[in-house]
């Protein structure tokens, strides 16, 4: 085998299929595999046995056949490739962070009922068919442990031939569970909810029968903690997928911050960065979701932080250069679509440092073009693979004037 062998898989494409040296695609292959003339694959040194019995049918994972070295290369390649597609090069590409197995603390599963059978799991790739999970190599065991007893609970509250969403988060008090699309009718169903919550020590149980979420169990106020500050947690609010992934993102941002001066955290959410970075400095946090920004504002007040939490739609009303120029640094953590409207204003500003946290390398690269055109240089990128064995990639890019 040589690097020029046209039958050897040399890299993994963005959607997870392997690509040979001569450009052919093959699913479920790893770098170093050989694609034989009959279409079969001769496994190479980076092809490993998947840890989960549901792979590859389950749509929750796409890359369990890769070893860690290849998985890390894939995450890095997604970031570098997206930048190259826009003609952008980072001065430094930092080592990729990969989250360990069974550390996912937030998950949205589907449940379906057919007669007496309750199925809970992820859908098959490219299908609506559910995989009934008997194990999971990505979920935190505390979340997975609820699936078997949930089947019994859903037998009481999920109508036949109906589907529901099971949304779970690990928060300060334990598991926060939101069930959507169920119907609670009668004393047995009502008592079943209470018994389930008590027996399994839930932090909170919320039901949405179609007319909005209703809390049915919450012994103490549900919170998540960032930077030592507990923040009220609206049901199934956004959290970084894993604690270690969050720590890697926060560390990359913190390392880029100047020692002094006020910072702005745009698309702040519940304060992952605003609270982690703002213990000893003023912070302005802007967020478009009203319940989230109110929770952050209250938490900041209770902790006596020097923080302004602003309910602001940054797509329709981005901060202007005049507003931005007051800050020593800006942290940007937008949704998957990116933040073009805000980025255009940043490009016209004099902010010395921008730490851009992204869950989509493609939209990050498009936004980076505008920042670079405005006079910034992309000093570094840190790829992060929080969604282990998935093609979903996150990153932090540091821009400086």
Rounded Cα distance between 237 and 287, Å, is 13
What does residue 145 show for φ and ψ, rounded to 5 degrees? -60, -20
Q: For residue 28, count other CB atoms closer than 10 A to its CB.
A: 18
Active site includes 359? yes
Question: Which of 136, 362, 96, 392 lies closest to 241, judged by CA?
Answer: 392
Q: Please report the DSSP string for 320-337 in residue order.
A: PHHHHTT-SEEEE---TT
Rounded Cα distance between 375 and 392, Å, is 30
Phi-psi region of 82 (alpha: psi -120 to 50; beta: other; left: phi over 0): alpha
Work out the widest C-alpha separation in the chain, in whole angstroms.
Answer: 70
Cα 314 to Cα 176, 253, 345: the distances in Å are 29, 20, 11
Beta-bridge partners for 217: 205
Phi-psi region of 364 (alpha: psi -120 to 50; beta: other; left: phi over 0): alpha
The catalytic residue positions are 359
């Amino acid at each position: 085998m040589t690097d020029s062998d046209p039958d050897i898989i040399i890299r993994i494409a963005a959607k997870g299929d392997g690509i040979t040296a001569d450009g052919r695609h093959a699913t479920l292959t790893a770098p170093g595999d050989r694609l034989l003339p009959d279409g079969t694959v001769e496994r190479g040194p980076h092809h490993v046995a998947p840890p989960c019995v549901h792979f590859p049918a389950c749509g929750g994972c796409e890359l369990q056949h890769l070893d860690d070295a290849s998985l890390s290369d894939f995450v890095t390649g997604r970031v570098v490739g997206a930048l190259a597609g826009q003609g952008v090069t980072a001065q430094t590409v930092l080592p990729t962070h990969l989250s360990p197995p069974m550390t996912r603390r937030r998950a949205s599963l589907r449940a379906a009922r057919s007669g007496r059978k309750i199925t809970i799991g992820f859908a098959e790739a490219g299908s609506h068919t559910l995989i009934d999970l008997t194990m999971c190599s990505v979920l935190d065991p505390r979340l997975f442990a609820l699936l078997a007893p949930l089947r019994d609970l859903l037998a009481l509250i999920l109508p036949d031939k109906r589907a529901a969403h099971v949304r779970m988060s690990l928060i300060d008090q334990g598991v926060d569970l939101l069930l959507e699309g169920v119907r609670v009718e009668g004393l047995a169903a009502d008592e079943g909810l209470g018994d389930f919550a008590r027996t399994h020590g839930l932090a909170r149980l919320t039901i949405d029968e179609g007319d909005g979420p209703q809390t049915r169990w919450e012994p103490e106020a549900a919170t998540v903690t960032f930077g030592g500050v507990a923040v009220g947690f609206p049901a199934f609010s956004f959290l970084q997928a894993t604690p270690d992934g969050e720590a890697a993102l926060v560390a990359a941002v913190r390392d880029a911050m100047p020692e002094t001066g006020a910072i702005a955290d745009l698309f702040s959410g519940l304060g992952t960065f605003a609270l982690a970075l703002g213990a000893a400095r003023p912070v302005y946090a802007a967020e478009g979701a009203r319940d989230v920004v109110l929770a952050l504002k209250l938490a900041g007040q209770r902790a006596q932080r020097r923080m302004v939490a602003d309910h602001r739609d940054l797509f329709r009303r981005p901060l202007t250069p005049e507003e931005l120029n007051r800050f020593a640094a800006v942290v940007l953590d937008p949704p998957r679509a990116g933040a073009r409207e805000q980025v255009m204003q940043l490009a016209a500003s004099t902010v010395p440092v921008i730490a851009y946290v992204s869950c989509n390398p493609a939209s990050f690269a498009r936004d980076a073009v505008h920042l670079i055109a405005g006079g910034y240089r992309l000093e570094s990128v840190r790829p992060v693979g929080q969604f282990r064995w998935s093609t979903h990639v996150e990153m932090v890019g540091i821009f400086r004037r």
